Amino acid sequence: MHAIARMKTGATMRGLLAVGFALFAASASAQDFPNRTIRMLVGFPAGGPSDVPARIIAEKLRVALGQPVIVENKTGAAGMIALNEMLAQPRDGHTLLLCSYIDAINPLLYKKVAYKLEDVAPVSLIQKAYYAFTIPAEYPVSDLKGFIAHAKSKPGALNYGKVGSGSVTELLAKQLEKVAGIQMTGVTFRGTGPAIQEIAAGRLDFMVGPLAVTMPLHEGKKVKVIGMTSPERLAIAPDVPTLKEQGTDIVNYGWWGVCAASGTPKPLLETLNKHVAAAVASPEFKTVIGKTGVIPVSSSVDELGALINDTAKEFGALIKQLGIEQLD
């Protein structure tokens, strides 16, 4: 009896010691962080809506942490090359990802995805952006109601631009088709930039685009923005009504944040969170990002984690509703 008690006590002590050593190691790791160059991986090309904020955040982190922070564009596979590169590195906070809503959606869209949402550790949200429903400037209509009527008069004849299967540019266009009872044909482009140029040239009929690429052309009267996916009108475009305002209940936004790999000690995530939040609050970040209509906003570690899960649930329901099948 006493031997059993001693065994249980010994096992308990070993367990407590293991926890103690783990906490000590995490604390020591946090105190030593960072001790070398930090990599900020971006899964999309330079100059895009992921790359620009990443470079500002990286520079702010460099100053705050006293170590070089370099941005690396690892493009391809809808951002998954960059994410998988991060997961292949030590979980010590020295390899970060400019993550986005796309990372939460990819496991829903593709059969062969090498990661799960649990593999990603949130650090902080940095921005969110609504989308503009855009048509050519010479179109004979100027609002969503007119476009829907025009599309109904030519079922299947109108084309819309998208940047890949399951992208927001496709999902929201298909959602409009469903709620408005219209039919369009999707045309795939390598990016929203080339697609918006086709809208401006009058060779493409419709596109759901980020404000960074649509608003300059809208302001120059080269395209028409007929609706926003925001819940209320945006300061950057007070003349453009929301979709909801026009009787179409579509509200949606994309988000971007900084993430690490799961297993990164929580103290490191909290340290990074503090400095990323300070970068987002900086006048430079607000000025550069705000000019494009994107909303700078930070979050706690747990708030970004909840947003990642909520995004997967929301888009999972939308993908099922629209009948989109997983891709190989």
- Tell me how many helices (H) and strands (E) the chain has: 11, 10
Tokens of 125: 């949200």
User: Can you spell out the DSSP letters for 184-195?
Assistant: EEEEE-SSHHHH
Q: Which of 32-36, 47-51, 137-141, 277-281 has the lowest mean pLDDT?
A: 47-51
Which residue range forms the structural domain that includes residue 183? 130-246
pLDDT, tens digit, 9 for 90 and up, residues 158-194: 999 998 777 889 999 999 999 999 999 999 987 888 8
Q: Cα–Cα distance between 91 and 120 in angstroms, integer?
A: 11
218 pLDDT tier (thresholds 50, 70, 90): very high
What's the total number of domains in the chain? Answer: 2
pLDDT, tens digit, 9 for 90 and up, residues 108-122: 999 989 999 999 999
* Same-domain pairing of 114 and 259: yes
Domain boundary among 214, 246, 278: 246
Chain centroid, CA 119 distance in Å: 16
Please indicate whether residue 61 or residue 6 has the higher confidence score (pLDDT). Answer: 61
pTM of the prediction? 0.83
Q: Own/partner pairs for 85-92, CB < 8 Å, 24+ apart?
A: 85/41, 86/41, 86/259, 86/260, 86/261, 87/114, 87/115, 87/119, 87/261, 89/39, 89/261, 91/260, 91/261, 91/262, 91/263, 91/264, 92/29, 92/33, 92/264, 92/265, 92/268
* Same-domain pairing of 123 and 142: no
The most confident of the ranges 23-27, 91-95, 166-170 is: 91-95
Percent of the chain with pLDDT over 90: 74
* Same-domain pairing of 138 and 229: yes
Q: What is the mean pLDDT of the chain?
A: 90
- Tell me if 268 is assigned to some domain: yes
First to last CA, the chain: 59
Mean pLDDT of the region 224-248: 94
CATH of the domain at 118: 3.40.190.150
pLDDT value of position 16: 46
Domain boundary among 246, 265, 291: 246
- Tell me if 156 is assigned to some domain: yes
